[in-house]
Every structure is written in C-alpha cells, then in structure tokens.
Amino acid sequence: MIDKIKEYITEVEQFTSSDKEEIEAFRIRYLGKKGVLNDFFAAFKSVPNGEKKEFGQAVNHLKNAAQEKVNALKEALESQADQKSIYGDLTRPAEPIPLGARHPISIVKNQIIDIFSRIGFNVSEGPEIEDDWHNFTALNLPEYHPARDMQDTFFIQTDPDILLRTHTSSVQVRYMEEHKPPIRTISPGRVYRNEAISARSHCFFHQVEGLYIDKGVSFADLKQTLQYFTKEMFGKSKIRLRPSYFPFTEPSAEVDVYWGLETESDYKITKGTGWLEIMGCGMVDPNVLKNCNIDSTEYSGFAFGIGIDRIAMLLHQIPDIRMLSENDVRFLGQFKSVL
C-alpha cells in the first residue's frame, strides 16, 4: 500500500494545468470527502501496527503535496487574472463613441444616386480641374460664344486653357468619348463659378447631371424620367416644363414641380405660386454628339442637371447655403438620425 501512495505522490507532483475546472477536479479527487486521501485514512486502522508510522507519514506527505499543488495552481491563475486586469476585461463593451453625421450634401446626393440607379443609371466621375474642350467647346460653346458669359469661370492663370469646371457636363463629354451608346449615366460632383457669395449663392456648389443616349430616345422619355424622379425624391409627381435655353441641349426646358400651398413655408419657397423650379433639361444637341464621335443620325438622347445644394436646403429647411460649407458641428450634428 505504501508503494501505491508513492505512485499517487509522483502523480500529484507531475500534475499541472491552467484550467480552473481541471484544478478543481484534481482537488476533489485527492482532497474531497470521497477522494483518494479519505480512502487511505479509512484504511489506516487495518494497517499492521508495525507499519502504521510509515503509512501515516506517507499519507501526510500525499496530503501536503496535493494541497500545495492545488494552492500553487490557484495562485498562478489569480496572478494571470491580475495581469489581464491591467487592460480591463477585453470582453466588455467599449466606451460609447459619439457617432458622426452625414453631411446634408452627401445625404441628398446618395438619395439621388439611389433613385436613378433603380432605372439603370450608373455613376461617372471626372476631374474638377478641366480643359476648355471638355468644359465648353465640346458642349457647343466654341470660343467667343456669348453663352460662355452665362457662367463666370475660374481660369488657371498660368494656362488660360485650364479652368475649374463650371458644371459636371464635362464628365458627360469624357464618358461619351470613352463609351459607345447606349449610355445611361449620372455625374455628381462639385463645380465652381465666380459668383458673389450670399445666403442663396456660392462660388462652389454641387450638381448631379444625367445623360441618356440610345436609338429612338424622345422628349417623352425625358418627361417620364423626370416624373419618376420627382415622385421618388419629393413624393410629388406633378411637373411642368417651361421652354429655356442651354447651349448643349435643343430643345431645352426648366423643370418645375408643383409643391403646393398647404403651409406658410410652401407660400414662401414657391413665392405664392405653388410651383418650384428644381432643374434644367433638354434633348442633347446633335453637335455635342458629333463632337464626341457619336452618330447623331442614329442616336439621340436627353440630359438634365440638378443642384444638390438647393435640394438639400429645400428638404432640410436650411436658410443659408453658406452653412453647408462652414463645417459647424452644431449644424452637422442635426443630421445624425438621417441616413
């Protein structure tokens, strides 16, 4: 029996674990009420008198070894827990981080992109620093054309042929040069014009321009597309098209949506008419198609341009366009709940 105790002592000395449950199972096996030591104590009275002393010493040695092993392993676990506590409990939720807010320009731009993407329009982008060809000449605005005066332009002094784009129509020109019809794209972006800064105008603002070119495209297709947009964007489908002039479209029109006269705000923004101008549009001029190497006898198309800033001010009741570029966190924080 002494040899059996020595085997247990060797087993105790060799045991090691960093698992709390395994250590507890080890303690119960040796020190529990129904453990190994309890069995040896129960067998003590049947040991011959001449062997009791040696047997008792062996059992005590086993007991001490088991108790010391349990204590040592528990202390090691606690010390590991203390080390981890330096950084806290990494499984706990982190401190709440204040969420930012989308800029109202981004909110409206994303809404417009989403609306047109549902009917097959992709998104195209281009440089904000443009050349004269893409910004003016290709769009039926040759040098000295009086319509150039409609857009006060920022030119780069070192090169009079380089300028800050005045519209994202330049992106459409680049897209037509690189892609063959059918073309269905919208071009969102920032544009620049040398205008006096006030509550209603700025020297830079944002546009989304759309272009659709294919065989048999008509003005009726344009009107239907615009009705779809106004219904999805504003919840209003009653529109009217007033004759207008743009050098790159013929015929051209201004688009008004019937906003209504239900509130005092409606009277204010529509000047008592109930109608609100939201964009310009028209059929792409054949000269523009020709400049982009598209056969105008085979293809036709329409284009439209929407001012993002104006739509954002309308939808969110923003009284001053300058608020959109001042980055005041008190103003921007109001849009946290808006996707």
- Binding residues are 250
Q: Residue 209 — φ and ψ, nearest 5°?
A: -110, 140
Tokens representing residue 325 in the block: 């570029």
113 close to 188: Cβ distance less than 8 angstroms: yes
* Annotated binding-site members for Mg(2+): 250
Q: Which of 304, 301, 279 is nearest to 179 (CA)?
A: 301
Buried b / exposed e along 108-136 (16+ C-beta atoms within 10 A): bbebbbebbeeeebeebebeeebbbebbb
Cα separation, 140 vs 21, in Å, equals: 82
Which element (helix H / strand E) includes 70? helix 49-84
Q: Tokens 């204590």 sit at which residue?
A: 71
Size of the chain in residues = 339
Which residues are within 8 A (CB) of 188 and not within 5 positions of it... i.e. 6 or more apart? Answer: 109, 112, 113, 123, 125, 168, 206, 207, 208, 308
Which element (helix H / strand E) includes 288? helix 286-291
